[in-house]
Chains A and B, each alone.
Chain A
Amino acid sequence: MQIAGVELQSRLWLGTARYPSPAILADSIRAARTDLVTVSLRRESGRDRAGQDFWAMIRALPVKVLPNTAGCYSVKEAVTTAHMAREVFGTPWIKLEVIRDPDTLFPDVFALTEAARILCEEGFVVFPYTTPDLSVAERLLDAGCPLLMPLGAPIGSGMGLNDPFALRTLRARFPEVALVVDAGIGRPSHAAAALEMGYDAVLLNTAVALAGDPVAMAGAFADAVQAGRTAYTAEPMPVRDMAAASTPMLGKAWLE
């Protein structure tokens, strides 16, 4: 798939937070067969090298980075964070998150669209974390976002695709736009369902990081994403309300 002219091989994008250790994170990234990971910017003192060590590890892997504006609650915060991320990570790509409610971590769609407009005008490639709402989607695309990233469920909840109708509606309304389910995925079956629906990729983090065996789970997600995509391109059978016998009645014996 292509995003803003850049070819991505994997339809599974992986977050880098909450893993038990840096080694497990690196192994999970490899097992996921992903070529895109998300990162953030956080405070670090000069003597604490954790951030520098993390960055060195990520740069040694064959992945592109997508910095996020996680934890930003205002347009100003998000835009400033994007500016800082562009300098540190050397990329105009930004996963734009502008949150309003601290319990659900749902996007503030008004601030999101305003921040997206500002950043797109400044040349950023904005990956907007949004709700599966048509009106918001249209505004984000009008602002210049090259793709949409509607949530499946609250971040870190593992609930899966809470509103498949809304997700299907987005897919149908914007057939030419890259759509990526971001947030709330908990199991590989959720990821497969998103890909079967025609979504172009999924972004997940907690589902792998908090699994009992993150590396194995990362591999399972990679397989599920591939299966879902193959199923989508193989054109699944239409759904019926009533049964349709698969075994033909012709030739059936009369045994009464």
Chain B
Amino acid sequence: MKLIINGNEEHHEVEHLAELLERLEHTASSVATAVNGAFVPASQRAAHRLKEDDVVEILAPMQGG
């Protein structure tokens, strides 16, 4: 399915958000996720089903002022 991941169009055959993170090699990292502008806690990623054209944001700790 087509997904917009961090602003980029990508195609992945996955069912749930947790599976997508694993596919993108985020499993061991500290990230926060949102789908279509809504925060998806880590505890809900395995149950969060993705669908075509979902907008996924994967955020990590970064420098900030």
Which A residues are closer than 8 A to B by beta carbons?
Answer: 15-19, 25, 38-47, 49-52, 54-55, 58, 67-68, 70, 76, 80, 83-85, 87-89, 155-156, 205-206
Contacts and interface: CB of A to CB of B under 8 A. Distances in A.
A39 B30 CA distance: 14
Interface of B: 6-7, 21, 24-26, 29-34, 37-39, 41-42, 57-65
Contacts, number: 104
Contact of A47 (B25, B37, B60, B63): B25
B32 A88 contact: yes
Given A45-B24, A76-B37, A88 B64 contact: no
A231 B31 CA distance: 44
The binding surface of chain A is classed by DSSP as mixed
Contact of B63 (A16, A46, A80): A16
A225 B25 CA distance: 44
Given A43-B6, A70-B65, A88-B61, 4 more contacts: A43-B58, A44-B31, A46-B21, A47-B25
6 contacts: A44-B59, A45-B24, A46-B29, A49-B29, A83-B39, A88-B32
Nearest to A67: B64
Contacts of B42: 87
Contact of B65 (A47, A54, A68, A85): A68
Nearest to A83: B39
Nearest to B5: A45
Contact of B39 (A58, A84, A156): A84
B22 to A, nearest CB: 9
A52 B29 contact: yes
A113 B50 CA distance: 34
Contact of A18 (B7, B26, B29, B63): B63
Given A51-B61, A55-B61, A43 B7 contact: yes
Nearest to A90: B30
B11 to A, nearest CB: 15
Given A43-B57, A43-B58, A87-B42, A25 B63 contact: yes
Contacts of A45: 6, 24, 58
Nearest to B27: A46
Contact of A84 (B26, B59, B64): B59
Nearest to A95: B64
Contact of A52 (B7, B38, B60): B60
A23 to B, nearest CB: 14
A38 B65 CA distance: 6
Q: Which 9 A-B pairs have the closest CB atoms?
A: A40-B64, A51-B60, A15-B65, A46-B25, A84-B32, A205-B65, A44-B60, A55-B61, A46-B24
